[in-house]
Amino acid sequence: MRVYKTNEIKNIALLGSKGSGKTTLTEAMLFEGGVIKRRGSVEAKNTVSDYFPVEQEYGYSVFPTVFQVEWNNKKLNIIDCPGSDDFVGGAITALNVTDQAVILINGQYGVEVGTQNNFRYTEKLAKPVIFLVNQLDSDKCDFDVVLANLKDVYGAKVVPVQYPIATGPGFNAVIDVLLMKKYSWGPEGGAPTIEDIPADQMDKAMELHRALVEAAAENDETLMEKFFEEESLSEDEMREGIRKGLVTRSIFPVFCVCAGKDMGVRRLMEFLGNVVPFVNEMPKIHNTRGEEVAPDSDAPTAVYFFKTGLEPHIGEVSYFKVMSGRLKEGDDLTNSDRGSKERITTIYSCAGSNRTKVDELEAGDIGCTVKLKDVKTGNTLVGPGCDHKFNFIKYPNSKYSRSIKAVNESETEKMMAAILRQRQEDPTWVVEQSKELRQTIVHGQGEFHLRTLKWRLENVDKIQIQYGEPRIPYRETITKSARADYRHKKQSGGAGQFGEVHLIVEPYAEGMPDPVSYNMGGQEFKVNIKGKEEISLEWGGKLVFINSVVGGAIDARFMPAILKGVMDCMNRGPLTGSYARDVRVVVYDGKMHPVDSNELSFMLAGRNAFSAAFKEAGPKILEPIYDLEVYVPADYMGDVMSDLQGRRAMIMGMDSEAGYQKLMAKVPQKELSNYSISLSSLTGGRASFNAKFASYELVPNDIQQALIKAHEAELAEEEK
């Protein structure tokens, strides 16, 4: 493979709902590009893309597959992404390192929820979009309906470049209204026959041609002028106009293929090579310091690692994009994120598990390498004179969490290591060892996502695991002030223990003034602040601890011990054992013993006084509330809404977005535990959602009572 210049490289993400035909199209492109000698099929489990056992087991893509084809002296770097939203991490990665999204539409179904999700990400990342209608040979496919659907959802920017003469099993020809030619294929697909447009198609073709010319001209003033004067543009001018329109997302061209029969694939590759924006035409990426990094081959080398694959027999395969400079075999580079040195022994151009050695890659290009010592997904390797780091890829929040444990407890460490390894492949798996919940929790994008993790742990790493319901990180707080004393006294033989603490607790709110005095049961307690500690709690909220002890009743040296006792209680709240937050404590009096007082005594006195006061202070349990956004087709709105009402949701608003309704609500985390499964079964998989932590709110009284009971039972169980 020769060395491609930056302006000969096109980076493309292949997106679309699961089952739209991305993996099949990939086979056809690789076949046409001469990378493989025969096309595999998803059914025969022999495609280049779906080569991991887990993908073959489930029959669809789990990981994005990077591949390269050369076509007309251009290098197309294409990433075939998993279609299911459970594996959205792959699509996010791919979109971030490419300059063009090709979104496949299943000609049988038109715009699907997966299409919508993919499109939304292209919108967020401002990437150009080409729609590609596939499966034109299916009898359920009606191109006009699909096109109307696309226009309905994405507007007038949707402009066909091709249309099929007929769809269904006899499909074998399209009219290309950019080139104004008819393309047709024999039963084996492949090389097309290119002919003049038949007379009976001419009117329709001319009409669509004019629409395309106008759409192309709109993106450039000189083209617009020419269009007004001459009512037409040359082919090159149209390509130029379409490319500009792609970059600004003012045109979404529509192409036609039948990936299964390799029809329309060559023409597609030609268009991608000619019209897709070059790497250096797209907005520049920024490094972590916010500086622009241009894909300049003469600048110092910076290579960003966006994906790690774990392959049987080979180990880690690291996929990268050359952000600037050029990468040569034998280069010695520094890992700017980890400080370590790395030598690049071999560079490959890749096509799934097929790899071809190359000597050099220039800025903008994508490749892979193996046997790196210490490079993790997200790291950057740099040459002399360069210290770029990148963190431009932002993954969505998790949507589904489960507690996880190894069935055989002795394999816990092995399990953790395996999950962390898999996280290199899919950064949307997040594992957390929660001290608070006393559970290990895995967070993912959906039930299927987590099931895949389990499959891999059990079948690849040979570790049996078990999922469970994750605990909810409740919090405890108080709603009014209360006072309590506690005397800790022990006289048994030798040195005794003595400490006595009097304190007041009250709810703390950010910005409230320091206390001056309290009135408790008709008695006045003046506050005389001698010391104040404001502790930002690790788990959110604050504890404010005030020393207002008069007349030396307790030595200042015992204050830290009292605070420690209070903190013990904050760590394991009296109601449910959850963290407590937002409390102010004023220690205003107490007693010491000249001999027997020590730190332990005051720690215990502080803890018990605080616990007693806390229980008198209208204690409440708080639960985490999430901001939920649900994208749902209008027909399902009613069902989704009433389901949410059963989840104690507070509906915050509604919006409509490209054929979908967007519903915003606040929902307790506890009620979201199985939401991805319910929403999917409620809508036949046609809705999607995301959820983000918003705040802690009081739980309703009946739930509080139930939680306290459950905690008491748990404590009794522990004592047995």
Instruction: Please choose which of ligand GDP, Mg ion, none residue 21 contacts, taking the beta carbon within 5 to 8 angstroms, the exact cut-off set by kind.
Output: ligand GDP
- Pick 260 or 364: Cβ nearer ligand GDP: 260
Between CA 643 and CA 436 the distance in angstroms is: 30
Among 6, 24, 77, 219, binds ligand GDP (CB under 6 A): 24
532: its two tokens: 């104040």
Rounded least distance, CB 62 to Mg ion, Å? 9
The torsion region of residue 135 among left (phi > 0), alpha (psi -120 to 50) and beta comes to: left
Radius of gyration over every alpha carbon of the chain, rounded to an integer in angstroms: 32
For ligand GDP, which stretch binds (CB under 6 A), given 134-142, 202-210, 410-418, 436-444?
134-142
Is 137 among the residues that bind ligand GDP (CB under 6 A)? yes
Q: Which helix (H) or strand (E) holds 147?
A: helix 143-154
- The bridge status of strand 9-16 relative to strand 100-106 is parallel
334: its two tokens: 């520094």
Is 114 among the residues that bind ligand GDP (CB under 6 A)? no
Rounded least distance, CB 456 to Mg ion, Å? 17
For ligand GDP, which stretch binds (CB under 6 A), given 254-262, 368-376, 615-623, 634-642?
254-262
- Pick 79 or 347: Cβ nearer Mg ion: 79
Rounded least distance, CB 271 to ligand GDP, Å? 18
- Pick 257 or 667: Cβ nearer ligand GDP: 257
Rounded least distance, CB 543 to ligand GDP, Å? 52
- Pick 42 or 419: Cβ nearer ligand GDP: 42
- Pick 101 or 406: Cβ nearer Mg ion: 101
Q: What is the 3-state secondary structure (H, E, C) of 328-362?
A: ECCCEEEECCCCCEEECCCEEEEECCEEEEECEEE
For ligand GDP, which stretch binds (CB under 6 A), given 21-29, 145-153, 273-281, 517-525?
21-29
Rounded least distance, CB 28 to ligand GDP, Å? 9
Residue 351 burial (10 A CB sphere; 0-12, 13-18, 19+): buried
Is 20 among the residues that bind Mg ion (CB under 5 A)? no
CB 266 within 8 A of CB 185: no
- Pick 100 or 138: Cβ nearer ligand GDP: 138
- Pick 61 or 297: Cβ nearer ligand GDP: 61
Is 61 among the residues that bind Mg ion (CB under 5 A)? yes
The torsion region of residue 249 among left (phi > 0), alpha (psi -120 to 50) and beta comes to: left
Q: What is the 3-state secondary structure (H, E, C) of 213-270?
A: HHHHHCCCHHHHHHHHHHCCCCHHHHHHHHHHHHHCCCCEEEEECEHHHCECHHHHHH
- Pick 86 or 342: Cβ nearer Mg ion: 86
Is 41 among the residues that bind ligand GDP (CB under 6 A)? yes
For ligand GDP, which stretch binds (CB under 6 A), given 12-20, 122-130, 447-455, 514-522?
12-20
Is 21 among the residues that bind ligand GDP (CB under 6 A)? yes
- Pick 82 or 444: Cβ nearer ligand GDP: 82
Is 16 among the residues that bind ligand GDP (CB under 6 A)? yes
Rounded least distance, CB 215 to ligand GDP, Å? 27
CB 406 within 8 A of CB 453: no
572: its two tokens: 């394991």
* Alpha helix (H) residue ranges in 504-651: 559-571, 599-616, 637-645
Is 23 among the residues that bind Mg ion (CB under 5 A)? yes
Q: Which helix (H) or strand (E) holds 105?
A: strand 100-106
Q: What are phi and psi of 252, to 5 degrees?
A: -120, 90
Is 259 among the residues that bind ligand GDP (CB under 6 A)? yes
Buried b (16+ CB within 10 A) or exposed e, 67-94: bbbbbeebbbbbbbbbbbbbbbbbbbbb
Rounded least distance, CB 405 to Mg ion, Å? 32
CB atoms within 10 A of CB 675: 21
# chain residues binding Mg ion, by CB under 5 A: 3
- Identify the DSSP state of 157: G
For ligand GDP, which stretch binds (CB under 6 A), given 130-138, 248-256, 417-425, 628-636?
130-138
Is 439 among the residues that bind Mg ion (CB under 5 A)? no
- Pick 352 or 364: Cβ nearer Mg ion: 352
Rounded least distance, CB 43 to ligand GDP, Å? 6
- Pick 82 or 364: Cβ nearer Mg ion: 82
708: its two tokens: 């306290």
Is 260 among the residues that bind ligand GDP (CB under 6 A)? yes
Residue ranges in 403-422 that form contacts with ligand GDP under rule CB under 6 A:
none
Residues 6+ apart with CB under 8 A from 434: 440, 441, 471, 473
Among 8, 11, 18, 390, binds ligand GDP (CB under 6 A): 18
- DSSP codes joined into one string, 272-320: HHHHSPPGGGSPPEE-TTS-EE---TTSPPEEEEEEEEEETTTEEEEEE
Task: Name the residue number minimizing CB distance to ligand GDP.
Answer: 260
Among 138, 477, 578, 704, binds ligand GDP (CB under 6 A): 138
Is 60 among the residues that bind ligand GDP (CB under 6 A)? yes
CA nearest 254: which of 164, 122, 139?
164
- Pick 17 or 398: Cβ nearer ligand GDP: 17
- Identify the DSSP state of 557: G
Is 134 among the residues that bind ligand GDP (CB under 6 A)? yes
Between CA 499 and CA 148 the distance in angstroms is: 80
**Cα→Cα distances 473→439, 508, 624, 631, Å:** 11, 20, 7, 27
Between CA 379 and CA 383 the distance in angstroms is: 14
- Pick 91 or 640: Cβ nearer ligand GDP: 91
- Pick 16 or 192: Cβ nearer ligand GDP: 16
In DSSP terms, 292 is beta-bridged to 286
Residue ranges in 288-317 that form contacts with ligand GDP under rule CB under 6 A:
none
563: its two tokens: 């605070």
The CA-based angle 129-135-138, given to 5 degrees, is: 150
# chain residues binding ligand GDP, by CB under 6 A: 21
Among 10, 22, 443, 584, binds ligand GDP (CB under 6 A): 22
Is 20 among the residues that bind ligand GDP (CB under 6 A)? yes
Among 36, 48, 256, 258, binds ligand GDP (CB under 6 A): 258
CB 306 within 8 A of CB 96: yes
In DSSP terms, 446 is beta-bridged to none
Is 481 among the residues that bind Mg ion (CB under 5 A)? no
Instruction: Please choose which of Mg ion, ligand GDP, none residue 548 contacts, taking the beta carbon within 5 to 8 angstroms, the exact cut-off set by kind.
Output: none
Q: Which helix (H) or strand (E) holds 199?
A: helix 199-217
Instruction: Please choose which of ligand GDP, Mg ion, none residue 686 contacts, taking the beta carbon within 5 to 8 angstroms, the exact cut-off set by kind.
Output: none
- Pick 88 or 259: Cβ nearer ligand GDP: 259
CA nearest 176: which of 200, 213, 209, 147?
209
CB 217 within 8 A of CB 165: no
Rounded least distance, CB 260 to ligand GDP, Å? 3
Among 19, 40, 110, 565, binds ligand GDP (CB under 6 A): 19
Is 134 among the residues that bind Mg ion (CB under 5 A)? no
For Mg ion, which stretch binds (CB under 5 A), given 22-30, 160-168, 347-355, 512-520?
22-30
Among 65, 135, 301, 688, binds ligand GDP (CB under 6 A): 135
**Which residues of this chain interact with Mg ion, rule CB under 5 A?**
22-23, 61
**Which residues of this chain interact with ligand GDP, rule CB under 6 A?**
16, 18-24, 41-43, 60-61, 83, 134-135, 137-138, 258-260
